[in-house]
Chain A
Amino acid sequence: MSDFLHMGGYAFYVWTSYGIAFVVMLIGVIKPLLVHKQQLRGLKLKRQRGQR
């Protein structure tokens, strides 16, 4: 296991690459999801105001 994490001495480079890729791709999905939630909430509020 520690051999695996060690990556033949290249641990820093390999794991930083994978880490950055993970973070960038996660943000690429999370951000649109959050925006979507916000949009729907905003539209709902607008409609409720319109009905009153």
Chain B
Amino acid sequence: MSADSLSNAFLSVVRRDLLLAYRHRAELINPLAFFVMVVTMFPLAVGADVELLRRIAPGVIWVAALLASLLSMDAIFRSDFEDGSLELMVMTPHPLSVLVLAKVTAHWLLSGLPLLLVSPLLAVMFDIESDVISVLLITLLLGTPVLSLIGAIAVALTVGLRKGGVLLAILVLPLYVPVLIFASGAVDAAASGLPVSGQLYMMSAMLFLAITLTPWPTAAALKMSLS
């Protein structure tokens, strides 16, 4: 099989998923609204002290992004599993891991990227300085794809179950810990004027590791769920 047809398969899966999402575009808003609302709850819970809020903002935004990504995660294979198109994907001559990567890419474009676009707004509401906001954006850019890639494994494991919701969270959240630590650590460091390149290199390493390694367990888990 040529590399050409492989990249064709990749692109056509991405295009198909984007098109499907476009037909149900109202649903795309939900995780985004959830993200903004969770962040809004924090000032209401801990008080409107600007100093305190600025101090906890990176952690708050990152935890909210984590939860929002978790919430939208289940949809990545669910509808394809139910209407049988997942089974067809397994039967194509293309390696399933590549198709999985395509599906995760599409999912990130639809759920991760929007978070990236609204987070500056939230950061301004927490009175974060503009150069710290750019670091926040870079961590989200590097981190949210990792969340989608890792989450896909757990979704593939639970997609055959009727009640996968809470279980999915239990499986996935411990695996999200390193991303959370380095991302909020980087933003924290930037806020206190420290260099952040170490954390960012670490996060890019995790991203590349996740891109190369996670499609295999995801594909294996999908085959298992279908059998």
Give yes or no for direct A-B contact (beta carbon below 8 Å): no
> Could you tell me which A residues sit within 8 Å of B by CB distance?
none
